[in-house]
């Protein structure tokens, strides 16, 4: 065999290996996407079994407007269901609203308090700015 024939065989084999790698990557990506989709389906099934239609509709509206908050509320509902907090009963819209109020109170941003030293420092900066004009 000549060097050019060996180079051609090597190049062909390299292309085959690259194609196998690409195919393998696509399969693993597809598998990960399928697994994620299955988890989302299970999550939605669980939420549908936990909530009345009205409560589910309200949750869907929250998830559309504030996805992070919707996901957080879903997580809370699922955790409570796993602990048996609902006793096998569906959560009504009124109960769901109560949960929303609790979540809002818990996640409410509190105003930042500044110390007297910081306040005096800000006043001095303001005075210096005014005097420079």
Structural element, H or E, at residue 66: none
Structure token pair of residue 11:
């190049």
Per-residue pLDDT reduced to its tens digit, 105-120:
887 777 777 677 777 7
Whole-structure pTM value: 0.59
pLDDT score at 92: 92
pLDDT score at 106: 82
Instruction: Kindly give the parts of the chain with pLDDT less than 70.
Output: 1, 6-7, 114, 133
What sign has the CA pseudo-torsion 55, 60, 66, 72? positive
Domains along the sequence of the chain with CATH: 3-132 (1.10.8.140)
> Which residues, 6+ apart, have CB-to-CB distance to 24 below 8 Å?
none
């Amino acid at each position: 065999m000549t060097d050019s024939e060996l180079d051609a065989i090597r190049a062909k084999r390299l292309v085959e290996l690259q194609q196998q790698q690409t195919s393998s990557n696509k399969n693993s990506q597809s598998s990960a996407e399928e697994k994620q989709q299955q988890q989302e389906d299970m999550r939605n099934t669980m939420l549908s079994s936990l909530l009345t239609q009205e409560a589910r509709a309200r949750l869907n509206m929250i998830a559309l407007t504030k996805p992070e908050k919707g996901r957080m509320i879903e997580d809370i509902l699922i955790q409570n269901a796993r602990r048996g907090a609902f006793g096998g009963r569906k959560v009504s819209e009124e109960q769901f609203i109560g949960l929303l109020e609790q979540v809002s109170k818990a996640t409410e941003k509190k105003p930042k308090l500044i110390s007297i030293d910081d306040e005096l420092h800000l006043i001095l900066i303001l005075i210096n700015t005014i005097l420079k004009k």
